[in-house]
Structure 1
């Protein structure tokens, strides 16, 4: 994603956040020291364990026990410190950062609900679902809600000994947006990544039609933008309405967004709203690392992320209101 919304003036923001950052910086030093102490404790446990193993003439295989115990102590100690630091950052800093980009509010937990994820009907229903970092409010004339979501499906297999193994695989991991769309409509239109058609030609189109009917996404819609059709497939309950929603301008903007995102982009238009999914691999809206002094410069990465996600409204020109939609 590019074309971000403007980043707030750092000097003004620094003055506004100065008391909070000073207090949290003191806490960061405490948490960083706790994490460092965890390393020392873990190494100490390992060293004592080595002496015991060697003193009792046990085999070298027994060295694994103190190694694992020391690593566990270090992991728990450092994890607890990081989680506490992150919680304070999201409680005291994130709401102020988010409010710089519009009439927006922030809460760390929970994010968009599993019901909202399922309502978009863009991916299969998950067996395990988690969401965080909810941002909601208005940007210009557009109502917006967004959060990070992670949806997974459960897979089970039985090995040769008859033991059942369970693992979870990603359905979707990324950002989910819900916008108040700028046109009136009553049907459902879905914009999915173009994968089968590109690889399988006419056979792929047949599978797409079958898949759309099975998932309740309606009929396959043929549009007149070759580049758009090379990236996306569209299904809708109303062919005419789908073409009304997906104007040449919006198709071009979705193509540009897909190029910048360089990852999965999917959208659904349901109940007067636009659902947008942007896949990503990293975790957003997190506190700077505990090794970084917490000042206004340390927040630039988070500010850039907020600028990018709120800039989607202008990327898709959602603030341009159609005469019948106010």
Structure 2
């Protein structure tokens, strides 16, 4: 089905959904505007009753209007996904399940994800693009953080993971990562970084005291910074695990490629595959996405992890019309179209290389 036909088929849904969107935004604005008055009236009521020491109850009651607002807006987002995104995806020949995502075990099989204490997935999209079958999902990774008020989960990475089945095979596994970001997403643990900073500052201050002859305070400084750094170091190390797959960085000739990517794999095989033409295709792919990405190519699979994507989140402040739907449609299919072009180019190169026609 052509894009114009897809948009025309959904036109009948736009008017009622747009009316619902406006109504919910007006209610949200009213709730937020009334919150200060609601808080003032509650405070006066508590004072009139002579209630003291009920600050927590007052804060809980004050939070009711904003909480109700967020809940209603969340319902509106879910409605738009089911009423607009799902029909758009199905018209393109895809299967779209907003509430589901890639299973955690499948996502971790990519080898691109760091260790996380909690995994969340949504927006499962699967189908075919060109000759490639694919599965994809939005995901978020969380670390457990302990505070004086208890334990909470802090998100440290979000993105979209694509899994492509290929009609050709890679002779050796090759990984790509944004320049300087490491072979897996997420970067270094903040806790580990803080621990090493504490050790560094402790040693620096101890060195200054030693140079000034103030040796009496050395045990206190060294011991204090050691105790300060220990929880961070232990927590950071608990998040680390050996990285599977290639770790050896491959240095290539293209300056444009090297400014954007680090490549990992067998030195000889990686240079055979990542020819100047393939490097140029990867640079164009990165520029088209406009976001950093990690990739793993092995056997008959390609995994691509794009950072910071939330593909199907509707903009509640944008009117629902044909222009908005066309924009959504372009945004939702852009990654897949660019990946298809790149994978087709790489497949053609591999076939040519098998026939003895490949090379730089």
Band the TM-score falls in, shorter-chain normalisation: 0.7 to 0.9
Task: Provide the residue aligned with 1:112 in structure 2.
Answer: 102
State the Cα distance separating 1:314 from its structure 2 match: 4.3
State the Cα distance separating 1:267 from its structure 2 match: 0.6
Task: Provide the residue aligned with 1:144 in structure 2.
Answer: 134
User: Cα 1:68–1:297, aligned 2, differ >3 Å: closer, same or farther?
Assistant: farther
Q: Helix, strand or coil for the counterpart of 1:135?
A: strand
Task: Provide the residue aligned with 2:325 in structure 1.
Answer: 299
Question: Contact 2:170–2:300 at 8 Å: present in 1 too?
Answer: yes
Task: Provide the residue aligned with 1:316 in structure 2.
Answer: 342
Question: Contact 2:144–2:152 at 8 Å: present in 1 too?
Answer: yes
Q: In the alignment, which of 49, 73, 82 is matched to residue 82 of structure 1?
A: 73
State the Cα distance separating 1:268 from its structure 2 match: 0.3
- Structure 2 counterparts to residues 107-186 of structure 1, below 5 A: 107-156=97-146, 167-170=153-156, 172-181=157-166, 183-186=168-171
Distance in 1, matches of 2:158 and 2:312, equals: 15
User: Cα 1:186–1:115, aligned 2, differ >3 Å: closer, same or farther?
Assistant: farther
Residues 199-228 of structure 1, C-alpha deviation per residue, up to 9 Å, x if partnerless?
xxxxxxxxxxxxxx9423235234333432
Residues 267-320 of structure 1, C-alpha deviation per residue, up to 9 Å, x if partnerless?
10134111111112x63312231x544332333442232132222234515377
Bigger relative contact order, structure 1 or 2 (CA pairs below 8 A, ≥6 apart): 1
Name whichever of 40-49 and 178-187 sits farther off: 40-49
Distance in 1, matches of 2:113 and 2:22, equals: 43
- Greater helix share, 1 or 2? 2
4+ long deviations beyond 6 Å: 61-65
User: Cα 1:313–1:196, aligned 2, differ >3 Å: closer, same or farther?
Assistant: closer
Distance in 2, matches of 1:82 and 1:235, equals: 44
Task: Provide the residue aligned with 1:269 in structure 2.
Answer: 297
Task: Provide the residue aligned with 2:307 in structure 1.
Answer: 279
Which structure has the bigger radius of gyration?
2
Task: Provide the residue aligned with 1:252 in structure 2.
Answer: 280
CA RMSD of aligned residues (A): 3.6
Question: Contact 1:129–1:152 at 8 Å: present in 2 too?
Answer: yes
Residues 83-109 of structure 1, C-alpha deviation per residue, up to 9 Å, x if partnerless?
221222111211222245x43221102
Note the residue ranges of structure 1 that are not aligned, 5 or more in a row.
Answer: 1-6, 198-212
Name whichever of 108-117 and 186-195 sits farther off: 186-195
Distance in 2, matches of 1:309 and 1:37, equals: 38
TM value normalised by structure 2: 0.67
State the Cα distance separating 1:138 from its structure 2 match: 0.9
State the Cα distance separating 1:68 from its structure 2 match: 5.5
Q: Helix, strand or coil for the counterpart of 1:195?
A: coil
Task: Provide the residue aligned with 1:69 in structure 2.
Answer: 61
Q: Helix, strand or coil for the counterpart of 1:268?
A: strand
Task: Provide the residue aligned with 1:189 in structure 2.
Answer: 174
Note the residue ranges of structure 2 that are not aligned, 5 or more in a row.
Answer: 183-240, 355-360
Distance in 1, matches of 2:335 and 2:39, equals: 45
TM value normalised by structure 1: 0.73
Distance in 1, matches of 2:256 and 2:74, equals: 44
Q: In the alignment, which of 8, 17, 20 is matched to residue 13 of structure 2?
A: 20
User: Cα 1:169–1:45, aligned 2, differ >3 Å: closer, same or farther?
Assistant: closer
User: Cα 1:270–1:126, aligned 2, differ >3 Å: closer, same or farther?
Assistant: farther
Distance in 1, matches of 2:43 and 2:247, equals: 67
Equivalenced residues, count: 291
User: Cα 1:272–1:14, aligned 2, differ >3 Å: closer, same or farther?
Assistant: closer
Distance in 2, matches of 1:287 and 1:83, equals: 11
Q: Helix, strand or coil for the counterpart of 1:185?
A: strand
State the Cα distance separating 1:256 from its structure 2 match: 2.9
Distance in 1, matches of 2:273 and 2:166, equals: 9
